[in-house]
Structure 1
Amino acid sequence: MELHHDAFFVTGGVPLRGEVGVHAAKNSALYLMLGALLTRDEVVLEEVPQLSDILALCDLLRHFGARVTWRGRDLHLDAAKLVTCEAPYALVSPLRASFVAMGALLGRCGEAHMSMPGGCAFGPRPVDRHIKAFRQLGVAFEETKGDFHARRLQPLRGRVLFDAPTVGGTQNVILASAVGSERVIIENAALEPEIADLAAMLNGMGARIAGAGTPTITIDGVSALSGTRYRPLPDRIEAGTLMLAAAATRGRVTLTGARAEHLRAVIAKLEETGVRVCEEGPERLSVDATGSLKPTDITALEYPGLPTDLQAPFGAFLATIPGRSVVTDRVYPDRFTHVGELARTGAQLELDGRTLVIHGGVLRGATMHAADIRAGGALVIAALAAHGDSTITGVQYIRRGYERLAERLNLLGARVRLGAAPALAAGLCGD
């Protein structure tokens, strides 16, 4: 088990080779867990990664009164008897996804008391779009010093129009509307695969949700949901990070459990650089970066564009390619907390407002600190590609999104050791 203050010690310059499996998606499992609050029957989620974000949400569900047990890697959730609809700051502050519990509690209890969840090092992710959407459906809101009290005055019905697609907002409305509502229509809904995954599980429990994965979602509320056994979809962010690690080290790696249809933008940009990506089966991808590579420009966008969660890891890969690349993030334009740390490897980086210009080349080992999950993924990629030894602190944040990362990279030939950090580093961020 990793210590809270630990570090990765990486000897870089080794091409990754071999085969590795992709875990179930953390960013889907979190919301499927909240979906379990909508039924009094047991919900079993299969092969759930035991990440610290998952464990934090387990604590929140237990606070509500749900029984949460692990049997191997299967997570058993029994919300037959909830004892409170209040989520205190101490439990929601580490985890941004916790605000989506509001929808589940509105659906199950008709009200919810939520504290504002913690922010992120790469800039705020406001919940105003969530609140506006609920108000459009007739939910009453009161706010006192960052604490929200929401009450369902009548069965939810009507139309929600998001000014911009929001994954959490879309999931919040789905959870609030699946049970006990009339017809609810979401316009400009988020398109991410995790939305469709949540709808698929809830429909398997008896919900009536149509259009998930498209801009318009229609929800016809039902009186009750039953239990289910469900496996979350594969983690496209983990898959993309492993693909970029293989590319940065000029390796040749096969991923099992990765769905190419969820990675089209990543694959297209990798191929622009000269990396060869082959779909060898329904959930099997090979990445070959042993040929010559060239720089390219990337822009992080809402799905089906290149994910913002892979913007930093992709930038770390581009830093290994001689020439000029440009990185832009239109989802979270301030998401560049990794730039100063990445520069320690000798990477030539110019952050001009909200655009990162990279003049790639040979990286050298360095001491770096991860301030959030995906910045940590980027620093690991840089360390794997760099010549010499690197130390990465802040591993407690990396492990919120990547399970047993050192062990799994070592199976591909990497040289990564987990040990006590040489000095404690401060910071906290969510995903």
Structure 2
Amino acid sequence: MLQLTPMQIVGGRTLQGEFAVQPSKNAALPIVVAALLTREPVRLHGIPRLSDIYTILDIVAHLGTRHAWEGPNTLVLHTPEILNTETPYSLVSKMRASFIVMGALLSRAGEATVSMPGGCAFGHRPVDQHVKAFRAFGVELDEEGGNFEARRVAPLSGSYSFEMLTVGATQNAVLSAALGTGRVVLKNASIDTDVIDMIGFLNSLGADIQGAGTHEVVVTGVAALRGGEYTVIPDRIEAGTMMIAAAATRSRLTLTGVRPGHLRALSLKLSGMGVNILEQGSTLSVDATGGLLRPADVVTGSFPGFPTDIQPQMSALLATVPGESVVTDGVYTDRLTHVMELSRMGADIKVSGYTQTIQGMPLHGAPVKAADIRAGAALVVAALAAEGQTTIDGMVYINRGYERLAERLRAIGANAVQAEPVLASAMD
């Protein structure tokens, strides 16, 4: 069960010290699903204890996975047999990333029934690219009543060129072909860090997947995968959120346990605004104490472009920067739930289509409510920068993406309080 209380932040304080970035939720989720492909145990290091992780663990437990935590962020998974090939709507409706269990089940069991996935309350994000890729490889797939029924009737083979860059469909297609005797070619594949990490995990277990990090990925099926041990990459979205928070509060902050190359688009944008960014190995320092920041124009794109997952946070920062900024998000065009809430805090944001025109000015505290994970993070950024107290409701979303956030913010000087959520899984 999940017990939730609002977060209260008294803003206007500068942040200081070191912030240890959590492991990547978005990379961990598909790796947990990918562990379905082996009968042997796997040990995963760097798994954040977030509600989305508990949701995916409930899903794979339904399919036959046993799990055990070793310490705070190490997880052992073991799926000796697939017990079910159908995922209930009550679970997959909570999170869009759950749809990639279809590829894993096709690979391991030859069949799958998966409901249309759910997740954050913004935009219509179809699964047509997943379906088209499966059919191109010979999968028989039907949809009825919101359920997709898929069957592998022969070794998967063939080629598919994605009509757009898509992380989830690339991952799903890779998973579907990793086991077996076929060979598939994915063109216009995503080069996102989460795709690369999942492929790295699978190859560490003996998969034959070539081309990770390029737009052409070739998957040659193998008979079986072995067990193993793997460490998940750091969370570039949390790192980006904290870089933006440092800039919004005009602070000096050091982030540890990061991969600066994953954050280059944001680093360049912040540098252009007048923030000093210093990269040293797995450490990144952000210094926004040097004077007035300049407004900026931001256009989101697929990796290595500016991430849509930090667009709302960037909008919150720009709402504090004097002058006019323009933010355009063509990746998720309805990702605008933060705008109305920021306006309650005094932000001047006008929306036309999927473009925000922002006139920067001082913000003030107010009662606000998050409607999705990253909009919630934007409200945290704004609250840290604002004068007075902000009460943030809708913590169910923020807790999906950020582990023990109030506690970790206090450690770097913020006045942030939340009764931390209690997470429990039936498998613990």
Q: Same fold (TM over 0.5)?
A: yes
Tell me the equivalent position of 1:353. Answer: 353
Structure 1 residues 245 and 151: CA distance shift in structure 2, 3 A: same
3-state SS of 2:114 partner: strand
Determine the C-alpha separation between the residues in 1 that align with 2:64 and 2:182.
27
Determine the C-alpha separation between the residues in 2 that align with 1:100 and 1:254.
35
- CA deviations 1:138-159 (Å, max 9, x no partner) are 0001111100100001000110
Tell me the equivalent position of 1:163. Answer: 163
Q: How far 1:420 moved relative to its partner?
A: 9.8
Q: Is 2:120–2:373's contact at 8 Å kept on the other side of the alignment?
A: no
Determine the C-alpha separation between the residues in 1 that align with 2:272 and 2:43.
41
- CA deviations 1:270-308 (Å, max 9, x no partner) are 01110010012x210000000221100001111110110
Q: Is 1:9–1:419's contact at 8 Å kept on the other side of the alignment?
A: no
Determine the C-alpha separation between the residues in 2 that align with 1:254 and 1:400.
24
Tell me the equivalent position of 1:387. Answer: 387
Q: How far 1:3 moved relative to its partner?
A: 5.4
Tell me the equivalent position of 1:5. Answer: 4
Determine the C-alpha separation between the residues in 2 that align with 1:170 and 1:81.
25
Q: How far 1:119 moved relative to its partner?
A: 4.8
Determine the C-alpha separation between the residues in 2 that align with 1:119 and 1:361.
33
Tell me the equivalent position of 1:135. Answer: 135
Q: How does 1:188-199 map to 2 (within 5 A)?
A: 188-199=188-199
Determine the C-alpha separation between the residues in 1 that align with 2:80 and 2:320.
52
Determine the C-alpha separation between the residues in 2 that align with 1:294 and 1:115.
46
Residue segments in structure 1 that go unaligned for 5+ positions in a row:
422-431
- CA deviations 1:345-387 (Å, max 9, x no partner) are 1011101121100000111111100000000000000000000
Whether 1:100 aligns to 2:100 is yes
Tell me the equivalent position of 2:183. Answer: 183
Structure 1 residues 133 and 350: CA distance shift in structure 2, 3 A: same
Structure 1 residues 58 and 404: CA distance shift in structure 2, 3 A: same
3-state SS of 1:267 partner: helix
Determine the C-alpha separation between the residues in 2 that align with 1:165 and 1:4.
37
3-state SS of 1:15 partner: coil
Matching residue's letter, 1:29? A
Tell me the equivalent position of 2:262. Answer: 262
- CA deviations 1:48-68 (Å, max 9, x no partner) are 100000000010111011111
Matching residue's letter, 1:67? R
Q: How far 1:160 moved relative to its partner?
A: 1.2
3-state SS of 1:6 partner: coil
Q: How does 1:196-235 map to 2 (within 5 A)?
A: 196-235=196-235
Tell me the equivalent position of 2:303. Answer: 303
Q: How far 1:121 moved relative to its partner?
A: 1.7
Determine the C-alpha separation between the residues in 1 that align with 2:181 and 2:270.
44
Determine the C-alpha separation between the residues in 2 that align with 1:420 and 1:360.
32
Determine the C-alpha separation between the residues in 1 that align with 2:28 and 2:15.
28
3-state SS of 1:330 partner: coil
- CA deviations 1:220-257 (Å, max 9, x no partner) are 11111001110100100000001101110000000011
Tell me the equivalent position of 2:58. Answer: 59
Q: Is 1:5–1:396's contact at 8 Å kept on the other side of the alignment?
A: yes
Tell me the equivalent position of 1:318. Answer: 318
Tell me the equivalent position of 2:46. Answer: 47
Tell me the equivalent position of 2:424. Answer: none
Determine the C-alpha separation between the residues in 2 that align with 1:167 and 1:141.
21
Determine the C-alpha separation between the residues in 1 that align with 2:69 and 2:4.
25
Q: How does 1:21-100 map to 2 (within 5 A)?
A: 21-72=20-71, 73-100=73-100
Determine the C-alpha separation between the residues in 2 that align with 1:290 and 1:222.
54
Matching residue's letter, 1:133? A
TM-score by length of 2: 0.96
Matching residue's letter, 1:158? G
The RMSD of aligned alpha carbons is 1.2
Q: Is 1:179–1:222's contact at 8 Å kept on the other side of the alignment?
A: yes
Structure 1 residues 387 and 376: CA distance shift in structure 2, 3 A: same
Q: Is 1:3–1:420's contact at 8 Å kept on the other side of the alignment?
A: no
Determine the C-alpha separation between the residues in 2 that align with 1:336 and 1:379.
12
Determine the C-alpha separation between the residues in 1 that align with 2:2 and 2:224.
42
- CA deviations 1:383-420 (Å, max 9, x no partner) are 00000111000111101000011011111100001149
3-state SS of 2:185 partner: strand
Matched positions, count: 419
3-state SS of 1:400 partner: helix
Determine the C-alpha separation between the residues in 2 that align with 1:45 and 1:419.
28
Q: How far 1:91 moved relative to its partner?
A: 1.1
Determine the C-alpha separation between the residues in 1 that align with 2:100 and 2:2.
29
TM-score by length of 1: 0.96
- CA deviations 1:94-118 (Å, max 9, x no partner) are 0111100000000000000101111
Q: Is 1:312–1:338's contact at 8 Å kept on the other side of the alignment?
A: yes
- CA deviations 1:151-171 (Å, max 9, x no partner) are 001000110110001100000
Q: Is 1:61–1:68's contact at 8 Å kept on the other side of the alignment?
A: no
Determine the C-alpha separation between the residues in 2 that align with 1:413 and 1:397.
24
Paired-residue identity, %: 52
Q: How far 1:212 moved relative to its partner?
A: 0.9
Tell me the equivalent position of 2:396. Answer: 396
Q: How far 1:181 moved relative to its partner?
A: 3.8
Structure 1 residues 412 and 189: CA distance shift in structure 2, 3 A: same
Q: How does 1:234-313 map to 2 (within 5 A)?
A: 234-280=234-280, 282-291=281-290, 292-313=292-313
Matching residue's letter, 2:275? V
